[in-house]
Amino acid sequence: MIISHRHRFVFVAIPKTGTHAIRGALRRQLGAGDLEQVGLFVKKTFPFEPLARLKHGHISLIQVRPFLGEPNFSSYFKFAFVRNPFDRFISYCAFMTRADNGFARDPQAVMRRFLFESRPLDHLLFVPQHTFITDERGALLADAVGRVENMQVAYDGYCERLGLQSDPLARVNSSQRGDYRLYYDNPMRDAVEEIYRGDLEMFGYDFEGQAG
């Protein structure tokens, strides 16, 4: 997460949505009093002990709200990026087995393990995306939600709104794999639909991409 008091925005870094590309672009424009918490590649923590103890930067708006306070929370531009859950799950599988290259060797075996054998529902990188930007009742707290599939265009628009320079986004921490749709059978597709139903409905995705 990034909190910019200088530019009055909060960037919510939802896992597996290209967050390091956005961080890298935004970081060059932050002021001395701006804040970032991140645990990969660059180590930074917020000056809020309960959040600093998390040791990662994937903080939800619910978590940061008490520390940001009013009226800042209401008035700052809060934005995030989301990704098709079917594609994001493939990215999760590749990332989690990167040490032994397990996904590249047998992708369906890895997918079945996470979906049917040891479903990691509490793992930070596995939890549904909407939980990072909604309140306890499921209402959206973010002011804007961009799509990874159209990231540069959305990022350009947010920069224009904030009066920031928009730079080309780098490709960071990406995995090498094919089209996500090639890996699924019907039971695996149904399982992802069950787990990420909230994301699919809130952000308008389906198996083929973005609905509408």
The residue type found at 91 is S
Residue (of 144, 27, 39, 137) closest to 82 by Cα position: 144
Determine the distance from the C-alpha atom of residue 1 to the mean position of all C-alpha atoms in its chain, rounded to a whole number.
10
Q: Is the overall model pTM greater than 0.85, yes or no?
A: yes
Contact 169, 22 (CB under 8 A): yes
What's residue 211's pLDDT? 61
Q: Which residue has tokens 């919510």?
A: 12
pLDDT of the chain, 212 residues: tens digit per residue: 999 999 999 999 999 999 999 999 999 999 999 999 998 888 999 999 999 999 999 999 999 999 999 999 999 999 999 999 999 999 999 999 999 999 999 999 999 999 999 999 999 999 999 999 999 999 999 999 999 999 999 999 999 999 999 999 987 656 667 899 999 999 999 999 999 999 999 999 999 987 65
Distance CA 187, CA 202 (A): 23
Q: What is the mean pLDDT of the chain?
A: 95
Q: What residue ranges do the domains of the chain occupy?
A: 2-210
Residue (of 204, 179, 169) closest to 11 by Cα position: 169
The residue type found at 88 is R
> 47-75, pLDDT tens digit by residue?
999 999 999 999 999 999 999 999 999 99
Distance CA 46, CA 38 (A): 9
Residue (of 203, 62, 57, 76) closest to 143 by Cα position: 76
What region, left, alpha or beta, does residue 41 occupy, with left being phi > 0 and alpha being psi -120 to 50 degrees?
A: left
3-state class (DSSP) for residue 94: helix
Distance CA 23, CA 10 (A): 11
| Antiparallel, parallel or unpaired: β 205-206 and 9-12 | unpaired
Around 137, how many Cα atoms within 13 Å sit in the side-chain half-sphere?
A: 2
Contact 199, 129 (CB under 8 A): yes
What's residue 171's pLDDT? 77
